[in-house]
């Protein structure tokens, strides 16, 4: 179907990003509620990311998984590109983590299971590096997790890790060291995320870029006393310098801590 702006009633803004904004919207005929991401072509061109966007939209529109935000379609006019997205009523996981401080084992394991399931699905479709940090994760009506980013080009930069130092927090050694990388980068990010859920901050967070860089390349981090044995075991198996040594995604799904707590 060929969509245009005429098909939608536009509501409140849900978020603002580098290239445009996301609005709550309703499809006029069906009254279906969704999110409309509006990107300005000028800004996309200036940043040289139109190709990236096109490729990512192509990928995203073919993914169908309960823990991946749906992209229903897209259209454009002279000045803008519009992405028709699933609306996630419970908002950003990041806000939730800030509000709670930390998540307990049950909640953390449930999120990790949902994420691992979604990543396993992505990997089976040869889609890698869904950039999984809390800012890119949304919550559906039932509190289920949704991977919401597709491509750095259209990320809504959250108020949070805007500094370069911030963007390092989730990167595995092979990426900060400029080596080639494959789907095993997602396993590293999963470990970082699991740690952050339980502790309230990422494992390699420091004041400076250099310091974080050093900690990541040495895999240098410690646990606060309250972190359970089972979760430490999972995190330790994911945060391995050598990508080949990281616990495979299928093994994450059957890890005792995940199974017992989710």
Q: Which helix (H) or strand (E) holds 84?
A: strand 80-85
Q: Does 67 carry a binding-site annotation?
A: no
Q: Does 88 carry a binding-site annotation?
A: yes
Alpha carbon distance 23, 8 (integer Å): 11
Q: Does 87 carry a binding-site annotation?
A: yes
Q: Does 41 carry a binding-site annotation?
A: no
Q: Does 135 carry a binding-site annotation?
A: yes
CA 234 vs CA 47, 78, 114: distances in Å: 39, 49, 15
The contacts found for 235-240 with CB under 8 angstroms, 24 or more apart, are: 235/191, 235/194, 235/195, 235/203, 237/191, 238/187, 238/188, 238/190, 238/191, 238/194, 239/188, 239/191, 239/192, 239/195, 239/203
Whether the CB-CB separation of 88 and 146 falls below 8 Å is answered with yes
Alpha carbon distance 155, 131 (integer Å): 10
Q: Does 149 carry a binding-site annotation?
A: yes
Q: CA 40: distance to chain centroid?
A: 22
The token pair at 130 is: 């869904």
Q: Does 37 carry a binding-site annotation?
A: yes
Catalytic residue positions, numbered:
131
Binding residues for ATP: 18, 37, 86-88, 135-136, 149
Binding residues: 18, 37, 86-88, 135-136, 149
């Amino acid at each position: 179907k060929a969509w245009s702006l005429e098909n939608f009633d536009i509501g409140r803004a849900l978020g603002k990003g580098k290239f445009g904004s996301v609005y709550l919207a309703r499809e006029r005929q069906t009254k279906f509620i969704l999110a409309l991401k509006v990107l300005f072509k000028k800004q996309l061109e200036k940043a040289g990311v139109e190709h990236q966007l096109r490729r990512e939209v192509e990928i995203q529109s073919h993914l169908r998984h309960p823990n991946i935000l749906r992209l229903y379609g897209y259209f454009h006019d002279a000045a803008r590109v519009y992405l028709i997205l699933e609306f996630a009523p419970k908002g950003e996981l990041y806000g939730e983590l800030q509000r709670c401080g930390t998540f307990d084992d049950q909640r953390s394991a449930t999120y990790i299971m949902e994420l691992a399931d979604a990543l396993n699905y992505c990997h089976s479709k040869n889609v890698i590096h869904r950039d999984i940090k809390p800012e890119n994760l949304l919550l559906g009506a039932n509190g289920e997790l949704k991977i919401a980013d597709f491509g750095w080009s259209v990320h809504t930069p959250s108020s949070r890790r805007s500094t370069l130092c911030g963007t390092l927090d989730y990167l595995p050694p092979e990426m900060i060291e400029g080596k080639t990388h494959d789907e095993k980068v997602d396993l590293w990010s999963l470990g970082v995320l699991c740690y952050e859920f339980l502790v309230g901050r990422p494992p390699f967070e420091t004041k400076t870029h250099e310091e974080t860089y050093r900690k990541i390349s040495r895999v240098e981090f410690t646990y606060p006393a309250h972190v359970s044995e089972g979760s430490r075991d999972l995190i330790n198996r994911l945060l391995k310098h050598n990508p080949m040594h990281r616990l495979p995604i299928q093994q994450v799904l059957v890890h005792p801590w995940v199974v017992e707590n989710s």
